[in-house]
Structure 1
């Protein structure tokens, strides 16, 4: 069976729109966290990492975007950055391309604004019906497919900070099951005052200093054979994606042990030894779970000394988009030729609900 590979990617991040600004910001180690305009974004956070000068009208177009919310615009923009090189394939066989998009709760702002309008209006039904579609979770995935004429399987995945890894795992199953020939998968998250307050109240005290961020990352996943036939470089093979649940979500030591076991299982499934791991990209949130995440990775890798990239320090807490942006960072660091044979990158995450997950990306010829 031909291995599945990532052969292209796109990102919309606080560094800018597109893969190149993301790569440049990452290479420079530049923090995109800045003070927020308190009039535009009142809320508990004084700083945030926002996509600069981003609007739906500017990046998606003025026609048909009057009621498009921010998370949908971020997703449509990012998918567009990827499909521009797939125009001929999409036109020939649009039903053979699937889209798996991760999200938090869709647009929290849209949901709350629409609900508020139904309560404060003269009549509960005196709302803008054009904005109702923004309140459903699969709005971004649906619009991403409609705007870019993708007619294959269309799926929305929601799973906290591990959403990006869950979307990748789902994409792998779609391809292995023969449901389509290629999948665009990733995740998107917006910044809003409503999300800021929800995050503030949901965090532990020691995590409240971490500013919020936003963004989106999308990947083209296909078989190595399909990538070669299309003349695309296999940037990384998907060695393994694994998840586990902690028996005691509040126990940091339990999270450490569970994630360490998860990483060992993924490395074994990918046929990769700890010494082959060249890069680690942890979720690295605040508080005890972040400490235990790092400890778990070191437990699993033993004496190996890979490079660590803590993206959250640069772009803030991007929530549902976090692990997708971590995957994008792994690809950005590997350059245009991708991971070399014998190299591997490890992406990890620990969610505060007790779920842990990881993905192992390898050089296209690294599996044994």
Structure 2
């Protein structure tokens, strides 16, 4: 081990901003997750489709949250701006406390401005090319949420958009960790955002047989690890975490919610949409994250699983968890509450994990009742939140294309 590695700076989460299907703020989202509340309900945007329910963000006032410029933003950008503003306020950082040239933004998204693309496609088909909004491209391209956050907050450091499917939010945290360790930034706003509850995306996932068909009980449809799981529920929203080096945070009197200790990433190189049934790639990313964080698997108290409520994916991940951690480590999937937020999922789940570390509370896996016989006997937290110390925790994210990303967090 070199001196350089031994002396690398610790990175802490000092601010969290969230917009989710179960809350418009971090506090309301956290309380709903801890109560096992599901955000799934019938969605008028999807009326008449094969799947007509979702985990939608409800009650979001774009102009109040983002100002008059909201009309120029796709919803995925609006969610990101609102979450970033909240995270910065929570961290108590501003132009008075940072050098804006050394503040970066790294945001993940799986799809980008899908609502804008669909709306403008309909306009062109129905009314001709002159009906297409000239701002279509700058509203919809994948990097525009990160760019708009930098513009909104006056940040001049590096601004990146990353897209690793449903691992995007976690990948963003890993890249932010690298920027801080390398000394390229003093502060990084990292997370993910998504607004893909649209007719085309819902229909496409339904045609892929990926969505739950339990429309008679939407609130109970997202049921990670449960024997009656039959697919995920499409969700939307954003989470942004403020990351900075621990020494700088302490110097301004901030301890942080948790330390971001390690990151790992890998590719399955197996199939476009199906996970490797042996979990080889996911295991590689998990082992890398633990090694990067210098954390033994035996010391991990919580795994916030990717578990989306699909039959195959949840079973593969359960076997992975049992193989690496045994059956005694607590496991939860907050997608039972939020549904699957695609590129935002990893950031939202990392935020929940940081809050678990900070508060010593593990949210239950909403809607879980009993595991199927194909799952190993892992300790799935369900029924009620579990109050217990969480010195170290892992958050898993896996995505189409065989993308795997894992972060390790620890108490601050």
What is the TM-score with the length of structure 2 in the denominator? 0.80
| Whole-angstrom distance in 2 between the partners of 1:239 and 1:274 | 13
Asked if the contact 1:283/1:310 (under 8 Å) is kept, the reply is: yes
| Whole-angstrom distance in 1 between the partners of 2:179 and 2:210 | 37
CA deviations 1:205-247 (Å, max 9, x no partner) are 8787422111111111111111111211132222211112224
Asked if the contact 2:166/2:344 (under 8 Å) is kept, the reply is: yes
- Name the counterpart of 1:274: 297
- Name the counterpart of 2:243: 221
Of 109-118 and 220-229, deviating more is 109-118
| Unaligned ranges ≥5, structure 1 | none
Alpha carbons of structure 1 residues 235 and 86: separation in structure 2 relative to 1, 3 Å: closer
- Name the counterpart of 2:318: 294
| Whole-angstrom distance in 1 between the partners of 2:400 and 2:108 | 18
SS at match of 2:73: coil
- Name the counterpart of 1:234: 256
The 5-angstrom pairing of residues 109-188 of structure 1 reads 109-122=115-128, 124-188=129-193
Shift in Å, 1:341: 9.6
Mapped pair 1:43 → 2:49 = yes
Alpha carbons of structure 1 residues 66 and 244: separation in structure 2 relative to 1, 3 Å: closer
CA deviations 1:100-139 (Å, max 9, x no partner) are 11112211121232234344434x2442213441121111
- Name the counterpart of 1:283: 306
Shift in Å, 1:20: 0.5
| Unaligned ranges ≥5, structure 2 | 1-7, 213-228, 363-387
| Whole-angstrom distance in 1 between the partners of 2:15 and 2:359 | 10
Choose the corresponding residue for 1:93, options 99, 114, 120. 99
Asked if the contact 1:216/1:321 (under 8 Å) is kept, the reply is: yes
SS at match of 1:84: helix
Shift in Å, 1:337: 8.8
Alpha carbons of structure 1 residues 350 and 65: separation in structure 2 relative to 1, 3 Å: closer
Of 104-113 and 198-207, deviating more is 198-207
- Name the counterpart of 1:31: 38
- Name the counterpart of 1:8: 15
The 5-angstrom pairing of residues 192-341 of structure 1 reads 192-204=198-210, 209-249=231-271, 254-285=277-308, 286-302=310-326, 305-335=328-358
| Whole-angstrom distance in 2 between the partners of 1:337 and 1:184 | 24
RMSD after superposition: 2.6
Of 194-203 and 76-85, deviating more is 194-203
Of 133-142 and 260-269, deviating more is 260-269
Alpha carbons of structure 1 residues 144 and 269: separation in structure 2 relative to 1, 3 Å: closer
| Whole-angstrom distance in 2 between the partners of 1:342 and 1:215 | 26
CA deviations 1:151-183 (Å, max 9, x no partner) are 211111111110011101111222233222110
Alpha carbons of structure 1 residues 205 and 322: separation in structure 2 relative to 1, 3 Å: closer
| Whole-angstrom distance in 1 between the partners of 2:344 and 2:40 | 16
Shift in Å, 1:252: 5.1
The 5-angstrom pairing of residues 59-74 of structure 1 reads 59-61=65-67, 63-74=68-79
SS at match of 1:16: coil
Alpha carbons of structure 1 residues 293 and 96: separation in structure 2 relative to 1, 3 Å: same
| Whole-angstrom distance in 1 between the partners of 2:263 and 2:336 | 24
| Whole-angstrom distance in 2 between the partners of 1:42 and 1:253 | 35
Shift in Å, 1:325: 1.0
CA deviations 1:286-342 (Å, max 9, x no partner) are 121221111101101135x22222111111111111111110111222335999998
| Whole-angstrom distance in 2 between the partners of 1:73 and 1:163 | 18
Alpha carbons of structure 1 residues 14 and 205: separation in structure 2 relative to 1, 3 Å: closer
| Whole-angstrom distance in 2 between the partners of 1:37 and 1:358 | 35
- Name the counterpart of 1:57: 63
| Whole-angstrom distance in 1 between the partners of 2:49 and 2:64 | 26
Mapped pair 1:350 → 2:398 = yes
Alpha carbons of structure 1 residues 237 and 341: separation in structure 2 relative to 1, 3 Å: farther
Asked if the contact 2:164/2:399 (under 8 Å) is kept, the reply is: no
| Whole-angstrom distance in 2 between the partners of 1:85 and 1:251 | 38
